[in-house]
Structures are given as structure tokens and as C-alpha cells.
Chains A and B, each alone.
Chain A
């Protein structure tokens, strides 16, 4: 079993829809990252959080440390949000980033 699991693996949405991507992990963590990867490979860090909730524009990230679960929400989705979203946790024991396999999101106009 992977230490970081994401769901769903693939997601298709219509423009304007509310989107949720989930991340569950099984290790103790110091922090959790949400990353966005567009075709071509470039990765952008969206959020880094260790508790509570963060908001940036239409994106919201939450984390529940007790339940070892995080969610990334996109409100009013847009075709430019189409990308792979990757959850990564910083292991408390090893100080290494462990990555989920990613969620491929496609938003259609």
C-alpha cells in the first residue's frame, strides 16, 4: 500500500463546477504540499500546510492531522485548471518528501 494515496485518479468536470481532490497518508508528517503539474512537466507549489486551512484565489486546501487526510478544493473551475494535482507529505521521521500518484483533472468549457 502506498504511503500517500490520492483520489480520484482522474477527474473530468464542466467549467464552473466545484472540484475536490483527496489525499490520505499513513506516515507521521511535518507538512503537506499540494503541487500542480501542467503538460510539459513544470511543477508549481500551490500550498504547504501543517494544520487547518489555506485559501488562495479559487483554491482551498484543508488538512486534518488526526485523520491523516487533506483535501484540495477548486471553486468555479476553469479549463486552465486542467493539470495533474499532486499531494506530497514531508515525513516527520525521514525529512523526505513522499509523493502521491497524482490526480489528472480535465475541465471542459
Chain B
């Protein structure tokens, strides 16, 4: 990808379980964002974390950011079948933060 990698590439869990996805990036950032993409559709913004933040919550989502390791994680708690989608992290570069680069994505399958 243009910016970094996500792992795992694919994740299959049972409904009710937690799902954790990780993202690594290459350059210094202004902020990091997570997006969700349903098959064949555009992306939907989930959550944004600034470079001076370490953790953020939104509903069943929890995002952490470690700028020293250039990595972030997205935790979805109590997953539902409707959470099945691909999840991407995107970073806004520190000195050009109107430009966004996406990670390679994690394809999550939540089995009912």
C-alpha cells in the first residue's frame, strides 16, 4: 500500500466476540483515521485519533495510537454479523495533512 500495512489481512470470528485489527504506517502523521468498506461500496468514516492522543472510544469501537511504534489498533467489541466488512486505516501526513494514505485493510467476517 502507499502508506502501510494492516494485519491480519483477514479475520473470521463468531458474533459476540471481539475483533482487533492493527495498522502500521511509515511517516509522521497529523492524525489517523479508521474507515469501513462494505463490498463494492465507498468508505464510511468510523473514528479519528489525533497524533497527540493515545486512545479513543466511540460506541463499540476503541482505537489506540502509538506514534513511537507508528502503529494503531482498532478494537470492535461484541461484534455483530453487520460488522462484516473491510476495515482500513488512513493517515494524514504531518506536513501535508490534506492528503490521506490508506493501509492495506483487514477483511472482517463475523459469523452469526
**A associates with B:** no
State the A residues within 8 Å of B (CB).
Answer: none
State the B residues within 8 Å of A (CB).
Answer: none
